[in-house]
Amino acid sequence: MSDEGSTEYRVPLCDDPSHEVLLIDCGPRETDAIRAVHKVTGLSLWHSRALARRAPVTLLQGLSAYRAQSAVAVLQSAGARAEWRQEPKPARRTTTSP
């Protein structure tokens, strides 16, 4: 910085788009899948069970690709069908002037 009184701000940009984890189906081992949902979400077992029984459902959002893949691996190892995908970008709103 050249002036002592001036302040410089930098905004970090993230090139990695956010990802989401979807639980498609609990699979044949529902109890193991509920425990896996509990592990990856941090929710109580009661809430994890309620969420898992509503499948297909989005479990997590705003993750990096690595964390999303890791969460899917935990769910799949418990017998659940899960997938991760890039979150859709929010639609830009356009306004029309009268």
Measured distance CA(73)–CA(84) in Å, rounded: 10
| This model's pTM is above 0.75 | no
Phi and psi, residue 60, nearest 5°: -135, 150
Phi and psi, residue 3, nearest 5°: -100, 145
pLDDT of residue 57: 94
pLDDT, tens digit, 9 for 90 and up, residues 3-59: 566 667 665 555 567 999 999 999 999 999 999 999 999 999 999 999 999 989 999
pLDDT of residue 97: 57
pLDDT, tens digit, 9 for 90 and up, residues 61-83: 998 989 999 999 999 999 999 99
Structure-token pair, residue 42: 């941090």
pLDDT of residue 55: 87
